[in-house]
Amino acid sequence: MTRFVFTCQAAHFDLTLFEFQRADGTFSFLQRLSEDVGLAETALAPAALAETVRKTPVIFVRHLFAVTDVLPRGADAQAVFAAALPHLSEELSVSVQTRFADGLPFDAGLTPGVSQRLAEHGFAVDVAGSRRIVSVFAAADAVYVGVGDAEENLTHRSGGEPHYARAGFGFVSRAEFKLREAAEVFGIDFAGIHAAVDLGAAPGGWTKVLAEQGIAVTAIDPSRLKPQIERMENVTYRQMRAEDFLKAFPDSRFDLAVNDMKLDVRQSTRVMDGFWPLLNAGALAVMTMKLPKDFSYREILSGLRSLSGYALLGARQLFHNRSEITLFLRRRDEMRKPEPKRGEKTGQGGLSKKLAKKYGNKGKRGS
């Protein structure tokens, strides 16, 4: 069995358990380590677990790591280094990520202490682009250590929490961070994208991120962009509704569509499907799905099924999402017919029944 530590938004902890059980019949929840951190086990190997999270998808988990050793509470840098060493190879660069449960004093010396010992033993310590990650979570009763890579951990960010600087000129809004994080989490390669459309672009955060990649961006919104974004050389601003753009510019073609519109799920998916004819074959799309305050899981599944023109490549509640999730999509070659409504399969056992009642197809609405 593989024990693993996972992170999610505290408000959606139970929903994350529901998703894991729905995706993996061998999943077993063991312990809540902090408000937003849990300990579980599965029969899946770490790589297979990560693949299950991506493909099912398990939307509300942000980060995880397979536990390779459990140390006593208060374990120091030497103990962590000794636990990690058998799982490391000097041919691969390594980084160290440490987190502490709510209420525990933060040991600022733990990360540099482990990193120093790794360097002294000939390891290349690389925070940003390391091939292996030593993950440490200090809980109230023990210290959990794991060694894996970013693919197995879902992200190279500690706890799945990227903290971006307000880099570049004219910071527009926090929305910039959402698209930057989505590109990291889903591995979006902007290199082959020449033309993009930003639906509901104002004030221009997503337009700015794309334009800084050298992409020609058509920004559509009845509200104005920030002046510094509107003046960017590779930005074309259309002050109109998305529906009116379709009528006015039906011959436009794009490699990417992005959508952070403040619409309910049905309205937003209708806009996305409306732009399907304007997207080139194999075009990509990123959109946020806004969740009502009291949403049910069936509403998420129904929203995903309602996207007739797109195949789902990934879905995740990112660190910079609030009451929303982010979808990564690819244009289908043909629009498919809407799928009929159907019941959702859940796992077995008391926990599944409890969570299915709250979040499942016949359950009452829950946050």
The bridge status of strand 235-238 relative to strand 61-66 is unpaired
Decide: helix, strand or coil at residue 10: helix
Same domain for 288 and 196? Answer: yes
Domains contained in the chain, number: 2
DSSP codes joined into one string, 194-226: -EEEEET-TT-HHHHHHHTTT-EEEEE-SSPPP
> pLDDT at residue 345 above 60?
no
Same domain for 156 and 127? Answer: yes
364 inside domain: no
Rounded Cα gap, residues 79 and 72, in angstroms: 9
For 284-309, what is each residue's pLDDT tens digit? 999 999 998 888 888 888 888 889 99
258 inside domain: yes
Rounded Cα gap, residues 66 and 194, in angstroms: 39
- Mean pLDDT is lowest, of 51-65, 139-153, 293-307, 312-326, for 293-307
The bridge status of strand 279-290 relative to strand 324-331 is antiparallel
Contacts for 89 with CB less than 8 Å, ≥ 6 apart: 132
Same domain for 254 and 325? Answer: yes
Reported as a pLDDT band with limits 50, 70 and 90, residue 128 is confident
Rounded Cα gap, residues 5 and 23, in angstroms: 17
Reported as a pLDDT band with limits 50, 70 and 90, residue 130 is confident
For 253-279, what is each residue's pLDDT tens digit? 999 999 999 888 888 999 999 999 999
Rounded Cα gap, residues 309 and 287, in angstroms: 13
Structural domain range at position 109: 2-160
233 vs 63, 139, 169, 217, 222, CA distance in Å?
A: 37, 51, 14, 10, 20
The closest of 31, 19, 103, 91 to 67, measured between CA atoms, is: 31
Give the model's pLDDT for residue 350: 40
Mean pLDDT, to the nearest integer, of 45-64?
A: 96
105 inside domain: yes
37 inside domain: yes
Give the model's pLDDT for residue 322: 84
Higher pLDDT, residue 127 or 198 = 198
> pLDDT at residue 341 above 60?
no
> pLDDT at residue 129 above 70?
yes
Half-sphere exposure of 119 (CA within 13 A, CB side): 11
Same domain for 63 and 128? Answer: yes
101 inside domain: yes
Reported as a pLDDT band with limits 50, 70 and 90, residue 362 is very low
Mean pLDDT, to the nearest integer, of 25-45?
A: 97
Rounded Cα gap, residues 304 and 300, in angstroms: 6
Domain boundary among 132, 160, 188: 160
Same domain for 240 and 280? Answer: yes
Same domain for 259 and 192? Answer: yes
For 95-122, what is each residue's pLDDT tens digit? 999 999 998 888 889 999 999 999 999 9
| Beta carbons within 10 angstroms of residue 331's beta carbon | 25
Give the model's pLDDT for residue 293: 81
Same domain for 214 and 153? Answer: no
CATH number at residue 288: 3.40.50.150
Nearest-5° Cα angle at 289, 285 to 291: 175
- Mean pLDDT is lowest, of 179-193, 228-242, 346-360, for 346-360
Per DSSP, 264 falls in state -
Reported as a pLDDT band with limits 50, 70 and 90, residue 361 is very low
Contacts for 320 with CB less than 8 Å, ≥ 6 apart: 162, 174, 177, 178, 181
CATH number at residue 14: 3.30.2130.30
317 inside domain: yes
Same domain for 140 and 238? Answer: no
Domain boundary among 103, 127, 160: 160
Rounded Cα gap, residues 118 and 110, in angstroms: 12
- In this prediction, what percent of the chain has a pLDDT beyond 70? 89
48 inside domain: yes
Same domain for 30 and 121? Answer: yes
Give the model's pLDDT for residue 206: 95
Domain boundary among 129, 160, 191: 160
299 inside domain: yes
Mean pLDDT, to the nearest integer, of 80-100?
A: 93
Same domain for 118 and 182? Answer: no
Higher pLDDT, residue 170 or 7 = 7
Token pair 């969570």 in the structure block, residue:
355
Mean pLDDT, to the nearest integer, of 128-155?
A: 93
Highest mean pLDDT among 70-79, 286-295, 350-359: 70-79
Same domain for 186 and 129? Answer: no
Average pLDDT, rounded, for the chain = 89
Same domain for 155 and 179? Answer: no
Contacts for 233 with CB less than 8 Å, ≥ 6 apart: none
